[in-house]
Structures are given as C-alpha cells and as structure tokens.
Structure 1
Amino acid sequence: MRKGNSGAVASAVGLLAVMLCVAGPASAQRQSAQEQRKQQTAQIPVCAKPLGTISVIEPDDAVNWWTGQQLPAPSKLIKVFVNKSRCFTLVDRGAGMAAAQAERALASEGDLRRGSNIGKGQIKAADYVMIPDLVSTNSNAGGNAIGGLIGGLVGGNAGALIGGLNFKKKTADVVLTITDVRSSEQVAMAEGSAKKTDIGWGASGGLFSGGGFGAAGAGGYANTEIGQVITLAYLQAYTDIIEQLGGLPDNASEANVTQALRVTKPARLLANSKGSGKAVRELDPGMLLYPTGEKDGQMWEVEDELGNKGWVNSAMTELAK
C-alpha cells in the first residue's frame, strides 16, 4: 500500500510539474501581449495623411475639475496628440478664433491697411469636432465629492472622486467622441483608462519628455503624477479613435450630403435639363431645394420639400446658410 501510495504521489507531482511547464510559457505570452498593448498605447499614433480638419472643445456640462489639480483644460492635452499624430488638421475655435474675429471686425470697419487680405470666405471649416470627457462612474456624487464641485474647483479630500477620476488612488477613466459637423452623426467614441502603475510605460516610451506639452500650455499633464495618469487614459482613447476612423472618407466635404439651395428669384422646376416639356412647378424666392448631385452646365437636378424632382437654373439660387 505504501509503495502504491508513493508511486501515486510521484506520478501526481510529475504531472503537476508538466502542467506548470506548459502553463508557464502561456502565462508569459499573455503577459507579453498585455505589456505590448501598454507600450503601444503609451505612444502617440502617427498617420500618413490627415483624416480631415478637426476642432477640440470641452463638453457643455463639464465641471472644471482640472483647476483644482492645477491642470489646463483637457482640450489642450488632446491638441498635443492631434499635432504630434498629424492625423487631423487642427482648426482653432477658442482664443485664437476670437482674436481672428476681432481682426475681421477691424477689416469690416475699414480700419486695416489696404491689401491686408482679410475678409469673408477664408476660414477653413472643421469636418469633425472632438470632445474629451470623463466616464460618468461617480458612485459618490451625493457624498463627499459634492463639496469639491462648488465653484468648479476639485481638490483635497472633498474632490477625491469625481466622474471617472479618483485623485486619491490616481486612476482615470475618460472618453473621447467625434461628431461629423455636417451630418451631426457621432462617427466615433472610445474610452480610455489608466492608473498610477501605468506611468512607467509612458516614461519609458519618452511620452513625457520633450517640449511638446509645455509649448502647448499642457505642461501640467507631463509634470504631475495625476496629470500623467490622465494623459495615458486619454492617449489610449485617442489611439482607439484613430483605429476606428481608418475607414473615414478622404474628403469629408464631398462625402457628405450636398448643401441645400435657396431660391433667390422666381423660377420654374423643369422636367429636364434642356428646358423642354411642361414645368414641374413654379418656384418662389426663399424656397429650399436639395441637389441630387446631377448637373448639366448651369442646370442642377434638385428635389423640393414635397419630394418633387426636376431641374433648375443654378443662377436662380444660392447656397442656403
């Protein structure tokens, strides 16, 4: 019996050793894949060509949690990603735009020198709008965190937890959304998360070195611990967003529905582009027409708001603003 038991024990030990040898490499492979993922998300992706023009703005209902942490608005952080990745052409809709509008106001009043070349029709349109936000997972919204929201300042114990940020544990859960400005469709959304122990990946990859953050007014995100955690979370979301947008059209303007036309003079909706045959209907100034994309010289095929289709002389219309 003892010999039999000893043999059974030896067999079991041998089998366990084999299992550990098999499991060891698999575990190492899994860990390597996880590490590879972290290394990839700690690097700003670079695109071969821009996916379009984009503006970055804060959400309308945003609480200025960043002021309590002496951080700039997260939109400045995202603009660093956009500039370094070359995935979008960035258009300013903030302080720079306000200054540009002030110059245009001076031009319209005749106060600028002749030949300044500032006027209408020069501002580049944004194809997309990107909004950085926090994941709404604040289970303590009715507790201590509410004190940190007063005055839009979050700091100390009162603001230890808000939305997707836990300042005490140094964790961040964020979200990025992209909206097509022409169709108002939300074309992409991605979440990102990071914690204090992930900071090493960003540091080893050189993410926080160099002057990119400071030059863009986002130095706090590279110089503070919570700032680095938030940076890694948003970078993970940004990387996923770029992967999602790989199928976007090369020209967002041409890919969208054609802008509506407004009738400027009394006209007729014709049955064909040659003007022969009976008119489909009379068109009054102010009516809206929707181009189908078909053109024959100055004649455009359109539909009215009742679904009538026909041709109209484009000289009798203007783009509806």
Structure 2
Amino acid sequence: MTVRTTALFAALALAALPAVAANVDEMRKQQTAQIPTCARPLGTISVLEPEDATNWWTGQQLEAPSKLIKLFVAKSRCFTLVDRGAGMNAAMRERDLASSGELRNRSNIGKGQIKAADYVMVPDLVNANNNASGANIGGLLGGLVGGRAGAAIGGLNLKSKTANVVLTVTDVRSSEQVAMAEGNAKKTDLGWSGNGVLFGSSGLGGLGAGGYANTEVGQVITLAYLQAYNDVVSQLGGLPANASAANATQAVTVAKPARLFSDPAGKGKVVRSLDVGMMLYPTGEKQGAMWQVEDEFGNKGWVSSMLLQMSH
C-alpha cells in the first residue's frame, strides 16, 4: 500500500468519525426514550409528589407527574408498585368498616395484610417557584437538591418547551437517599423519541397518559422523566433482592425485667441487667427463643425474645 493510499484511507476514516459519533449519539438517545424492562423487581416502591410542590401540571391540563412515573413502573416491571394515594385511602376505609363489624363474615380484611414499601420515589422539577402560570418555572432549589442537579437552572420552560426534572429514591427503613437522577429534554428531542412506539396507542397513549402523550410540552416532560427513570434503574441495579433483610433489624423494647447473657444458653456471664422500657437492637443472630442484641452503649449479648416487644 502506497503512502498516498494510506493517507487517503486515513482521511476517509477521519471524515467518517463525526457520522459515527452522530449515529452513536442517536442510538443512545433512542435507548433513553424507551421504557426499560427488568428481569426481576428491584423492590417494592411507592410514588409520591414532593410536599412543597407547585401544581405546575394543572395549568397544562396534565396529570400529576406521579401518575406518569407509575406508568413507567408498571410498564417496566422493575418495581412492585404499592398505592399510597387514593387507592390506599379507599383500602383504609374498608378496614375501618371491618373493624366496626359492618363487613360480612369471612371478608378477610384486617391488620397485617398491607405490603410494605421498600422505597419511595419522588418526581420533581429541578427548579420550582410559585409562579406556575408564567412561561418559566425557575428558582434554584440548591438547598433541597444538592450536587449537579441542584446547580442546574431551567426547570420547565413552557415557551421553548424544555424540561429539567429530577427523580429521587429513598430507602424507607434507613431514610438513605439511594438514587437521584436528572432528566433533560427539549422540543427538538421529539424527533428521536420514537413517537409511534412511546406515545402511540401501544405505548403511553393507550395507558391513560392523557396530555403527556397528546401535547408537545407533555411529551417533552415525559422524555425528561423517562431519561431520569432509566438512570435510576441503572443506579439501583445492584440493590439486594430482599431490602428488608438487608437493612438493620427493627429495634425492640424490654417488656419485662431481664438480663443480657454472654452466650445463647442463658447460663453464662451476665453482661448487664435490662430494665423495662430499655431499647435494644437485634443483630439478626437467633438460637431458639434467644436473640443476640446490642444496647445503646455497644454492649452485646443474648436475651430471651419472650421478654421483648417490637419498639413503636
């Protein structure tokens, strides 16, 4: 191969780089515009609105963003969804009827049946203020959302149809924020979103997404939240299969005077006496009725679970 031929191939390769990069970017954008699917649920989750949220969606005739996220969850099968909204309120009314004796016999409704949420997901705008009727919903939330997301500016611009959103996921047992992802979208992104698949009758349009599927601003907001949801699923891929077992065991309270022993037989050295009302923290180790626990000072030993009750 001559030097001239080699130079020609090199020039052609360099010229093709922008096209290759554009194709890779196009593929990445198309992937983030698709609802991810999971082989197994990552845990049980509830979706709530932020407490200090401005109802910006009502002026655009949109449903609350929590309903949009619930559609993502249901379609992706990445979480088991539990209702903590209207459905939960209705369920509690049924339980009130059961406890008052108004329901038929053998209705099988009562305590201990509600599935616990492992995580809570909250959809929000990165920036929000009380000017929900304006063209731009701004106002930095640096004190609420830290890091890269807190430094972003934009939120939702209705005139230029851009959206800057954030999803946060909190572990309900530890209160740790286990994931936070930002999503950004603009009107020009609608070209690569695969409208027919995502917003058509076989996608969100057929699932009751309303204005999120039928309006440009709704579609832009959907793409932003979907980008964040994809990121959240990626972040949470390494979560334990059993969130309850992976967290610290619920604290217990001494119900009757007891002693903390150095061994599970309950016949060894007494580490200390335990007064009624004292709070202890099980380590998860058990032998029969004996539980290994720690007190608030780090003393570890064994005590009979018959002398304990769950702390409230």
> Structure 2 length normalisation: TM-score?
0.88
Moved over 3 A (4+): 16-23, 159-163, 211-217
Helix, strand or coil: the match of 1:277? coil
Paired with 1:195 and 1:44, the residues of 2 have a C-alpha distance of 18
Matched letter for residue 246 of structure 1 = G
| Length, aligned pairs only | 293
CA contact (8 A) 1:72 1:217 kept: no
Moved more, 240-249 or 199-208: 199-208
Radius of gyration: which is bigger? Answer: 1
Query: Which amino acid in 2 is paired with 1:201?
Result: W
1:24, CA displacement in angstroms?
A: 2.3
Q: 1:225 aligns with which of 216, 219, 225?
A: 216
- 1:205: how far off? 5.6
Tell me how far apart the structure 2 counterparts of residues 315 and 212 of structure 1 sit (CA, whole Å). Answer: 54
The letter of the residue matching 2:190 is I
Structure 1 residue 240: Cα displacement: 0.8
Equivalent in the alignment of 2:84:
93
**How does 1:1-321 map onto structure 2 within 5 Å?**
21-136=12-127, 149=131, 154-155=132-133, 158-162=134-138, 164-204=155-195, 206-210=197-201, 213=204, 217-321=208-312
Structure 2 SS opposite 1:197: helix
Deviations 1:220-258 (A, max 9, x none): 100111000000000001001111111111111111111
Structure 2 residue matching 1:83: 3-state secondary structure: helix
Q: Could you state the TM-score of these two structures normalised by the residue count of structure 1?
A: 0.86
SS in 1 for 2:193: helix
Q: Secondary structure at the match of 1:114?
A: coil
Residue deviations 1:42-70 (CA, integer Å, cap 9, x gap): 11000011000000001111111001111
Residues of 1 paired with 2:81 and 2:62: CA distance? 22
Within 2, Cα distance between the matches of 1:18 and 1:214?
48
SS in 2 for 1:206: helix
Q: Secondary structure at the match of 1:209?
A: coil
| Separation (CA, whole Å) in 2 of partners of 1:277 and 1:204 | 71
- SS of match in other structure, 1:310: strand
Conserved? CA contact 2:285–2:292, under 8 Å = yes
Following superposition, the deviation at residue 211 of structure 1 comes to 5.9
> Which letter maps to 2:242?
N
Which segments of 5 or more consecutive residues in structure 1 lack a partner in the other structure?
Answer: 1-15
For structure 2, the residue ranges without an aligned partner over 5 or more in a row are 1-6, 139-153
Query: Structure 1: how far apart are the matches of 2:276 and 2:109?
Result: 31
**Amino-acid identity (%):** 67
For the 8 Å contact 1:44–1:235, the answer to whether it is kept is yes
By how many angstroms is 1:159 displaced? 3.3
1:39-97 CA deviation, whole Å, 9 max, x = no partner? Answer: 10111000011000000001111111001111111000000000000000000000000
Aligned mates of 1:205, 1:109 — CA distance in 2: 51
